[in-house]
Structure 1
Amino acid sequence: MASRGSVIPELEKMSVEQLKSIKEQSDMEVNLLQDSLNNIRTATNRLDLASIALNDLSQKPKGKKMLVPLTASLYVPGTLDDADKVLVDVGTGYFIEKTMEEGKDYCERKINLLKSNYDQLLEVTSKKKHIADEAGLVLQAKMKQLASAS
């Protein structure tokens, strides 16, 4: 995070219009970054659920009757044929057949990647929020100064 002393002097040199622009832009970027953080959190939760489902599936015997999801809300009855082979959704409508262990490994690698991206994005979001807050404080001080000068 930038130290308080390194951001304030640059902001204090700016005009009210420039400060408003910086504040609005920073706030907009923070909102977009927050949306991205929420999307990453959702994707991580889905992968966690997929990993749990793979663990459960690996313990089911061959011939086990179950419901097979076709979409998020449509399930059809099915019978487990081979618990060692799974189809992994790799995005954009592509599925790859993998062994159960490869499927579990895929989920874990994706979860670790998403968690790493989440941490990096959280740091960037924090810095942008700090800039927006500092710009807001300097803007308020300048507005008070202008009001008292009138």
Structure 2
Amino acid sequence: MAAPKMVDIRQLNPQQLSEVNQRLETEISVLNNCHAELVGVKKKFITSREAVSELEGCEGADVMVPLTGSLYVRGKFAEETQLIVDIGTQFYVEKTPKEAIEFFDRKIKYVEENMEKIMPQMMQKNQSRNLVESEIVQKMKAAKLAKPSK
């Protein structure tokens, strides 16, 4: 796959600059959506990890187990609680609370690493967009100055 060709934006006309700006806006939007999705996933893993942490010492405690969004049954925690953890794509695995916490810690770290990979891309795209917008403004000013007065 060939590397993207670098173009001096000062050589582009206003229409081309506008197209580049639109492309950058689209790419920034996609990156922002990815980042927002990762933030949501991270919150889900943090919430799950906290819920597991709160189970410590709850052996024999009464709980309400949701069957649907509005239907619950009474339950009790067993001494040796095995949790059923959604590990992705509708796969569930039994884990001890310690294993579940370790799983969520790994997932949180993985999501954070991906968020760190996206941030430089977002910053670079925003800088590029700012340069293109600045060049558009300069070209428009130059075009106004070049027009003959009536």
TM-score normalised by structure 1 residue count? 0.86
In structure 1, list runs of 5 or more residues that go unmatched.
1-6
Superposition RMSD in Å: 1.8
Q: CA deviation at 1:122?
A: 1.1
Where in structure 2 are the equivalents of 1:71-82 lying within 5 Å? 73-74=69-70, 76=72, 77-82=74-79
Equivalent-residue separation in structure 1 for 2:128 and 2:78 (angstroms): 57
1:4 match = none
1:51 match = 49
1:87 match = 84
Runs of 4+ in 1 over 2 A off after TM superposition: 68-71, 81-84
CA offsets 1:112-137 (integer angstroms, 9 cap, x no match):
01011111111111111111111000
Count residues with an aligned counterpart.
141
Q: Residue 132 in 1 paired to residue 126 in 2?
A: no
> Which of residues 14, 17, 21 is equivalent to 1:16?
14
Equivalent-residue separation in structure 2 for 1:144 and 1:45 (angstroms): 47
Q: What is the SS of the residue equivalent to 1:121?
A: helix
Q: Determine if contact 1:23/1:135 at 8 Å carries over to the other structure.
A: yes
1:148 match = 145
In structure 2, list runs of 5 or more residues that go unmatched.
1-5
Q: CA deviation at 1:82?
A: 4.6
Letter in 1 for 2:81: D
1:105 match = 102
Q: CA deviation at 1:74?
A: 3.8
> Which of residues 16, 23, 26 is equivalent to 1:25?
23
Calculate percent identity across the aligned residue pairs: 21
- Report the structure, 1 or 2, having the larger helix content: 1
Equivalent-residue separation in structure 2 for 1:111 and 1:95 (angstroms): 18
Higher relative contact order (CA 8 A, sep 6+): 1
